[in-house]
Amino acid sequence: MATIPSHSLLLPNPINLQTAHSFPLKPHLPQSTMIPFPTRQSPAMAMSRTEGASISPRLEPESYGITTAEDIRRRDREAKESKRLRDTWRKIQGEDDWAGLMDPMDPVLRSELIRYGEMAQACYDAFDFDPFSKYCGSCRFTRKKLFESLGIFDSGYEVARYLYATSNINLPNFFSKSRWSKVWSKNANWMGYVAVSDDDEAKRRCLGRRDIAIAWRGTVTQLEWIADLKDFLKPVSGNGFRCPDPTVKAESGFLDLYTDKDTTCNFSKFSAREQVLTEVKRLVERYGDEEDDLSITVTGHSLGGALAVLSAYDVAEMGLNRTRRGKVVPVTAFTFGGPRVGNIRFKERIEELGVKVLRVVNEHDVVPKSPGLFLNERAPHALKKLAGGLPWCYCHVGEKLALDHQNSPFLKPSVDLSTAHNLEALLHLLDGYHGKGQRFV
């Protein structure tokens, strides 16, 4: 298989327009000052910090270079969490379906969710949304300098590959295209990346294993892409998946985005699916026989959440999570504000393969309720059985962590549905969540 051209050829001198921050970013408060360029829609403008509201000391890390007693306690707490992660990472990755970890909220699980949420946020921060840029639709930074260019200097991960998809499919409200006649690519968009934790990361953060992370780009707040969905399920086996059951189906638009390619384009001559599977296979072969354990974690927000579920399933279905010695590598998807992806057989097949999915959602977000607004997992059992074969009967997968932006004293109420879909606001809610009925701090 040919090699996807390096994006470093396109962006030799990336300019960092972001404010520097640590990984994970705190506090998780949507701020218009974080917009990397003027054409990008302000993230959750209406859900911004309320006037006069103060940020708790726990949420304000050394903003002015002054180390406080709370800073020291926070560092000690993070050190303890990292030490505990080393011993409990399998549970954090969903070995027991997160039983007893979400209510009350386990601090290590919260920290890991925020960390992977920041990986998904990096896809937005690095993406060129500017229609007046020749590189609109691409990543603004080179692969080797992605995290550094975003001000993330201690991620502990190295980006192994960028992912691209053809923009020829019918999702006009998702893809960004330049208004210039001569552009980096007329038929491709940057979709995310595959990264792997380095040796120092395993020692410094006490991950307890080496981690292969896949992050997919979604949509910031715009909801127009939902209208582009065909709302039609089709068998995954017809799209190259190694699935023995033709009744396992997924939404056709998601499948097209994941599997379509354009052989005339250097960046999408291979589908996003082929790109991610090739890289996962290479990394598992390289690190699978190490003494340390290995994990595969996929993350994404919005439409990226759908791609995260699809690719996590695909990796397991193809058997790429098995090392040459036969050891099974756990596959986990952490999604944020993601839609339904497939039917009930798709859900059951994911469970059979042992793929773990944890969905973080805002209760007021319409995207997780789509598609399948009426025929879904909430329908009465008799109706689900009757409608199970219909091409528009959907079912969520995995476990759900439901948050509510009305519980945060730092966010203004809003009637704009798109604001409930913002990833930075969702990470802010996650940061202050301690369990059902508990105070937001």
Confidence (pLDDT) at 4: 42
Which residues partner with 322 through β-bridges?
Answer: 328
**Amino acid identity for residue 353 in this structure:** L
Q: Which domain holds residue 255?
A: 17-432
pTM, two decimal places: 0.82
Q: Is residue 36 part of a domain?
A: yes
Contact 212, 194 (CB under 8 A): yes
Known active-site residue 256: no
Whole-angstrom Cα distance, residue 334 to residue 338?
10
By DSSP bridging, strand 331-336 and strand 249-251 are: unpaired
φ/ψ region of 177 (left if φ > 0, alpha if ψ in -120 to 50, else beta) reads beta
Measured CA angle at 214 (ends 211, 215), to 5 deg: 130
**Dihedral over alpha carbons 402, 95, 313, 169 (to 10 degrees):** 30
- Write phi, then psi, for 418 (nearest 5 degrees): -70, -25
Q: Is residue 276 part of a domain?
A: yes
φ/ψ region of 42 (left if φ > 0, alpha if ψ in -120 to 50, else beta) reads beta
Q: Is residue 210 part of a domain?
A: yes
Task: List, as own/partner pairs, every contact residues 19-24 make where C-beta atoms lie below 8 angstroms and the sequence separation is at least 24, other chains included.
Answer: 19/151, 20/151, 20/153, 21/151, 21/152, 22/61, 22/152, 22/153, 22/154, 23/115, 23/118, 23/147, 23/152, 23/153, 23/154, 23/155, 24/111, 24/114, 24/115, 24/117, 24/118, 24/427
Confidence (pLDDT) at 381: 63
Could you tell me the two tokens for 295? Answer: 């994990």
Q: What is the DSSP string of 73-118?
A: HHHHHHHHHHHHHHHHHHHHTTTTTTTTTBTTBPHHHHHHHHHHHH
pLDDT digits (tens, 9 = 90+) for 67-119: 676 666 666 666 666 678 988 999 999 999 999 999 999 999 999 999 999 99
What sign for the dihedral angle of Cα 200, 85, 336, 415?
Answer: negative
Confidence (pLDDT) at 51: 34
Could you tell me the two tokens for 44? Answer: 């959750």
Closest CA to 264 of 167, 339, 351: 167
φ/ψ region of 220 (left if φ > 0, alpha if ψ in -120 to 50, else beta) reads alpha
Confidence (pLDDT) at 7: 40
- Which of 365, 370, 396, 431 does the annotation list as catalytic? 365
Number of structural domains in the chain: 1
**pLDDT tens for the 441 residues of the chain, in order:** 444 444 443 333 333 333 333 334 344 544 433 322 222 333 333 333 333 333 233 334 444 456 676 666 666 666 666 678 988 999 999 999 999 999 999 999 999 999 999 999 999 999 999 999 999 999 999 999 999 999 998 888 999 999 999 976 766 667 787 888 788 888 899 999 999 998 766 555 678 899 999 999 997 556 656 666 666 899 999 888 999 999 999 999 899 999 999 999 999 999 999 999 999 999 999 999 888 899 999 999 999 999 999 999 999 999 999 999 999 999 999 999 999 999 999 999 999 999 999 999 999 999 999 887 666 666 666 565 555 556 668 999 999 999 999 999 998 887 777 788 999 999 999 999 999 989 998
Q: Is residue 9 part of a domain?
A: no
**Going by C-beta distance under 8 Å and a sequence separation of 6 or more, which residues neighbour residue 22?**
61, 152, 153, 154
- Which of 155, 185, 252, 302 does the annotation list as catalytic? 302
Say which DSSP state 373 is in: S
Alpha carbon distance, N-terminus to C-terminus of the chain: 51
Q: Is residue 6 part of a domain?
A: no
Which residues partner with 189 through β-bridges?
Answer: 165
Q: Is residue 440 part of a domain?
A: no
Confidence (pLDDT) at 178: 85
Whole-angstrom Cα distance, residue 414 to residue 417?
8
Q: How many CB atoms lie within 10 A of CB 148?
A: 15
- Which of 301, 405, 421, 428 does the annotation list as catalytic? 421
Whole-angstrom Cα distance, residue 403 to residue 430?
7
Burial state string for 398-431 with b = 16 or more CB within 10 A and e = fewer than 16 = bbebebebeebebbbebeeebbbbbbbbbbbbbb
Known active-site residue 130: no
Identify the CATH number of the domain in which residue 22 sits. 3.40.50.1820
Known active-site residue 421: yes
Where are the alpha helices (H) located in 192-302, listed in sequence order?
199-204, 225-228, 252-259, 272-287
Q: Is residue 108 part of a domain?
A: yes
Q: Is residue 439 part of a domain?
A: no
Confidence (pLDDT) at 338: 96
Whole-angstrom Cα distance, residue 101 to residue 317?
28
Closest CA to 225 of 421, 424, 427: 421
Closest CA to 139 of 180, 182, 187, 176: 176
